């Protein structure tokens, strides 16, 4: 069906006498394909009218091209198009600013994302539905910009309001992912498993607690049914299992242990790492199976497959 639409769009663009009606038709088809989740075809259609778009429709064209790039996992390509829409100051400026914040966050520029959301948040005229989305993304940008305490507080508040709405499921899923990640990140920043005294034992306890909290936080994320962020959550949790297991094995054996006790200690931490790796493999595989079931394509799927297979090979080499 998409293939036929693509042929139709190219045909429309080719036969337009003055280019104007053809361009309009292609923009309409591109918008439909963007909404149907076919970013590759959407981008191909738009490229068929590159250089033919009049000034009156240029902002729409640039916005659609940026959105299609974003959906095709190419935030770097989307960024300049969104910026040009904003600079033109005509149609879709607020929408482009919102999408630019998402793109900048994806590119690691949390401060830039927050700057865009501060501007948007000051704008008047939002309806309640839009305001819910703006509040969510502003809080997400605050966290990305390093303003964790305030951002997380605002995020939890925004989520309480957003839960009663059917819209913004993608943003809600992203918010749940960030909250899940914070359970792990907060502990990882301040604790390291080194082995030995009570301080390191406390670090192990804190890490186990954080993993348990992250598992619980994954449940509302899964409930959003947004595969992109569910995969991110599964990958994050599985990676945390692996990292914790590796830290346990790499830690120094407590000096107070006798040689015999040290042997038992090494066997136990190796057993713990094997258990954590088995959990990680299961989590990664859940992500792979979900992507296959939903036919969801993402660069993260390949990473899930790679990590799952690498762990399984290591487990097999060490006797399961």
Contacts 24+ apart (CB under 8 A), 248-253: 248/193, 248/204, 248/272, 248/273, 248/276, 249/273, 251/193, 251/194, 251/195, 251/196, 251/200, 252/194, 252/195, 252/196, 253/195
- The token pair that represents 309 in the structure block: 């297979």
> Maximum CA pair distance of the chain?
89
Residues 140 and 61 in one domain: no
Measured at the CA of 291, the angle between CA 287 and CA 294, to 5 degrees, comes to 135
Residues 281 and 228 in one domain: yes
Tell me, yes or no, whether 86 lies in a domain.
yes
Tell me, yes or no, whether 140 lies in a domain.
yes
* pLDDT for res 192: 62
Residues 2 and 114 in one domain: no
Residues 261 and 151 in one domain: no
Three-state DSSP state, 82: helix
C-alpha dihedral (42, 43, 45, 51), degrees to nearest 10: 140
For the chain, 320 residues long, give each residue's pLDDT as a single digit of tens. Answer: 444 444 444 444 444 444 445 788 888 887 877 676 665 577 778 888 888 888 888 999 999 999 888 888 899 999 999 999 999 998 899 999 999 999 999 999 999 999 999 998 877 667 778 888 999 999 999 999 999 999 999 999 999 988 877 788 999 999 999 999 998 887 777 666 665 566 777 788 888 888 999 999 999 999 999 999 999 999 999 999 999 999 888 888 877 888 888 899 889 989 999 999 999 999 999 999 999 999 898 899 999 999 999 999 999 887 65
- The token pair that represents 174 in the structure block: 């992203």
Residues 233 and 190 in one domain: yes
Residue 147: give the domain boundaries.
Answer: 108-123+131-158
Task: Enter the DSSP assignment of 277.
Answer: H
Whose CA is closest to 97, among 79, 110, 109?
79
Residues 188 and 266 in one domain: yes
Tell me, yes or no, whether 172 lies in a domain.
no
Residues 65 and 137 in one domain: no
Task: Enter the DSSP assignment of 79.
Answer: H
Q: How many domains does the chain contain in total?
A: 3
Residues 87 and 135 in one domain: no
Residues 154 and 196 in one domain: no
113 Cβ contact list (under 8 Å, min separation 6):
100, 101, 102, 104, 105, 140, 141, 144, 145
Q: What is the rounded CA–CA span in Å between residue 65 and residue 50?
A: 10
Tell me, yes or no, whether 170 lies in a domain.
no
* pLDDT for res 17: 44
CB atoms within 10 A of CB 270: 14
Residues 305 and 218 in one domain: yes
Tell me, yes or no, whether 102 lies in a domain.
no
Tell me, yes or no, whether 208 lies in a domain.
yes
Tell me, yes or no, whether 194 lies in a domain.
yes
* pLDDT for res 13: 42
Tell me, yes or no, whether 163 lies in a domain.
no
Residues 194 and 315 in one domain: yes
Q: Distance from first CA to last CA of the chain, Å, rounded?
A: 46
284 Cβ contact list (under 8 Å, min separation 6):
234, 235, 238, 304, 305, 307, 308, 311
Residues 215 and 296 in one domain: yes
């Amino acid at each position: 069906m998409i293939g036929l639409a693509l042929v139709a769009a190219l045909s429309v663009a080719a036969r337009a006498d003055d280019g104007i009606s053809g361009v309009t038709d292609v923009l309409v088809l591109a918008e439909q394909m963007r909404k149907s989740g076919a970013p590759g075809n959407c981008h191909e259609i738009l490229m068929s009218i590159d250089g033919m778009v009049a000034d009156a429709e240029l902002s729409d064209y640039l916005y659609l091209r940026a959105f299609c790039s974003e959906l095709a996992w190419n935030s770097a390509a989307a960024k300049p198009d969104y910026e040009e829409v904003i600079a033109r100051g005509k149609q879709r400026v607020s929408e482009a600013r919102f999408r630019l914040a998402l793109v900048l966050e994806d590119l690691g520029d949390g401060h830039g994302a927050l700057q865009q959301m501060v501007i948007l948040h000051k704008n008047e005229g939002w309806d309640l539905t839009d305001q819910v989305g703006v509040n969510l993304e502003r809080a997400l940008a605050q966290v990305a910009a390093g303003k964790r305490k305030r951002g997380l507080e605002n995020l939890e508040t925004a989520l309480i309001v957003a839960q009663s709405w059917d819209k913004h499921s993608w943003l809600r899923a992203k918010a749940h992912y960030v909250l899940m990640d914070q359970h792990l990140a907060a502990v990882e920043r301040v604790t390291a498993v080194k082995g030995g005294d009570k301080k390191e034992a406390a670090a192990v306890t804190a890490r186990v607690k954080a993993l348990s909290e992250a598992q619980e936080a994954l449940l509302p994320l899964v409930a959003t049914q947004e595969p992109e962020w569910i995969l991110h959550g599964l990958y994050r949790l599985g990676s945390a299992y692996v990292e914790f297991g590796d830290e346990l094995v790499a830690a120094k054996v407590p000096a107070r242990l006798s040689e015999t006790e040290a042997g038992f200690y090494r066997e136990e931490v190796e057993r713990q790492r094997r258990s954590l790796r088995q959990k990680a493999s299961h989590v990664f595989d859940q992500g792979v199976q979900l992507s296959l079931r939903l036919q969801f394509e993402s660069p993260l799927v390949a990473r899930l497959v790679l990590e799952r297979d690498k762990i399984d090979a290591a487990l097999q080499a060490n006797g399961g």
